[in-house]
């Protein structure tokens, strides 16, 4: 069994082969996702909502991230484990490094995810130079929900779109290994995916990204409230959680998901 690494994902981008990512916060979901062929398992700070019942990700602590990451990494043999640096865990580059060391050393993560564009350049460069694999999260930034004025689509004006494209290009230069784009118009996501050499994972960012991610509870129909436009309930058309994960993998790889109804213009 070959482990998925950043090299594997870059080769898949070059080959035009789509890969998949889902969130997991515990061992049982992580095992089922790995068995379904999910290449990247994200221990997201969305656990603040789906596990803790909060209305944002902002209360999630480093201890909680380490705990959930270790529950996932303990059982995974193949998938790449990405783990979120939670709100205010990266105020300085040194703090980002010591908290990344906790996610990797204690939690068993292979990569950390950090929200933010060019304001995070120095941090991304600092981590990359010290051997930490990083995913830069752009577009809708859930940790900035109060500053952004809600969970809304980003990059609709040409000025915002240029900013996000520029963020992606600069972050790649600084050493980011993956870009994650949340809630941006399909055309912008497509431009970014074609402009960078590193893989781009999308959520609410159209079908042209190199990969897709969803929160696992959402794609199993367990959203608390109205699901976002980009969510598809894969359990509705399958008979088990395991089959829902397998169908998600198949539909991302053959470009059936996301369909137009899950994307933004």
Q: Which of 34, 115, 172, 182 is catalytic?
A: 182
Between helix 121-129 and helix 93-105 the angle, nearest 10°, is 50
DSSP letters spanning 153-194: ----SHHHHHHHHHHHHHHHHHT-SEEEEES--HHHHHHHHH
Binding test (CB under 6 A) with ligand KIV, winner from 46, 69, 100, 136: 46
Residues 152 and 149: their CA atoms lie apart, in Å, by: 8
The helix/strand/coil state of 100 is helix
Min. distance of Cβ 49 from ligand KIV in angstroms?
9
In the bound state with ligand KIV, the residue whose beta carbon lies nearer, of 185 and 202, is: 202
Nearest in space to 124 (alpha carbons), one of 62, 167, 155? 167
Total chain residues near ligand KIV (CB under 6 A): 11
Please say if 182 is a catalytic residue. Answer: yes
In the bound state with ligand KIV, the residue whose beta carbon lies nearer, of 44 and 185, is: 44
Site track 100-139 with ligand KIV (rule: CB under 6 A), x = hit: ----------------------------------------
Q: Any bridge partners for residue 201, and if so which?
A: 180, 211
Binding test (CB under 6 A) with ligand KIV, winner from 29, 44, 121, 143: 44
Q: Which stretch binds ligand KIV (CB under 6 A): 43-51, 97-105, 162-170, 243-251?
A: 43-51
Residues 174 and 168: their CA atoms lie apart, in Å, by: 10
Binding-site ranges for ligand KIV (CB under 6 A): 23, 42, 44-46, 84, 180, 182, 203, 213, 215
């Amino acid at each position: 069994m070959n482990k998925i690494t950043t090299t594997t994902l870059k080769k898949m981008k070059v080959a035009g082969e789509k890969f998949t990512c889902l969130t997991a916060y515990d061992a049982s979901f992580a095992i089922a996702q790995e068995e379904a062929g999910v290449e990247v398992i994200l221990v997201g700070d969305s656990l603040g909502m789906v596990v803790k019942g909060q209305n944002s990700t902002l209360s999630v602590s480093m201890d909680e991230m380490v705990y959930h990451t270790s529950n996932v990494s303990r059982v995974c043999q193949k998938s790449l484990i990405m783990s979120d640096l939670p709100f205010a865990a990266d105020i300085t580059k040194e703090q980002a490094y010591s908290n990344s060391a906790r996610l990797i050393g204690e939690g068993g993560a292979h990569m950390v995810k950090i929200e933010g564009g060019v304001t995070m350049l120095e941090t991304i460069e600092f981590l990359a130079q010290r051997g930490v694999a990083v995913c830069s999260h752009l577009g809708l930034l859930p940790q900035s929900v109060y500053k952004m004025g809600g969970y809304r689509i980003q990059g609709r004006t040409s000025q915002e779109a240029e900013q996000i494209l520029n963020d992606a290009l600069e972050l790649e230069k600084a050493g980011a290994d993956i870009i994650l784009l949340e809630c941006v118009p399909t055309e912008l996501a497509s431009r970014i995916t074609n402009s960078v050499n590193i893989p781009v994972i999308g959520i609410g960012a159209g079908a042209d990204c190199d990969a897709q991610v969803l929160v696992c509870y959402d794609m199993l129909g367990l959203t608390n409230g109205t699901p976002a436009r980009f969510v598809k309930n894969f359990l509705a058309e399958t008979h088990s959680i395991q089959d829902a994960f397998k169908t998600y993998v198949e539909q991302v790889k053959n470009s059936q998901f996301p369909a137009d109804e899950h994307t933004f213009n």
